[in-house]
Amino acid sequence: MGQQQLLLILLGIVIVGIAIFIGINLFRANAIEAKRNNVTNELVNLAAMAQKYYLSPQELGGGGRSFVGWDIPSELKITANGTYRREFVSADSIVILGTGNEVVTGDDSIKVRITVLPTTYRVVIVN
C-alpha cells in the first residue's frame, strides 16, 4: 500500500509540474501577442497622422501631397509599448518600424513595419 501511495503522489507532482509549465508558456505567448497588437495599433495611429499630413495643404502645416517633412512626434517615438522610427520617406510613401519592448526569444524583440501610402497602409509583422 505504501508504494502505491508514493506512486500516486509522484504522478500528482508530475501532472502539476506539467500544468504549471504549460500555464507559464501560454501566459508568455499571450503577453507577446498583446504587446504585438499594441505596437500595431500605435503604428496605425502614426499612419493616420502621416496621411493627415500628406493630405493637408502646406499653408496649413501639411505636406501638400507629400510625406517629405513629416516626422514622428517626439512624445510618440518612445512609448510604454516600444520605440518607433522612420525607415524610409518619399513623396508618396513612408515606412515606419515599431520595436516592442517585450522580448520574444533571446534578444529578439517584437518588430512590426508599416508602409503608409496616401490612402492606405500595409502592416507587416517582422517578428
Of residues 19 and 2, the one with the higher pLDDT is: 19
**Segment 92-103, tens digit of pLDDT:** 999 999 999 877
Q: Which domain holds residue 115?
A: 2-125
Model confidence pLDDT, tens digit, residues 27-47:
988 988 999 999 999 999 999
pTM: 0.83
Q: Which three cell numbers stand for residue 114?
A: 508599416
Number of domain units in the chain: 1
pLDDT of residue 13: 96
Element (H, E) at 108: strand 108-116
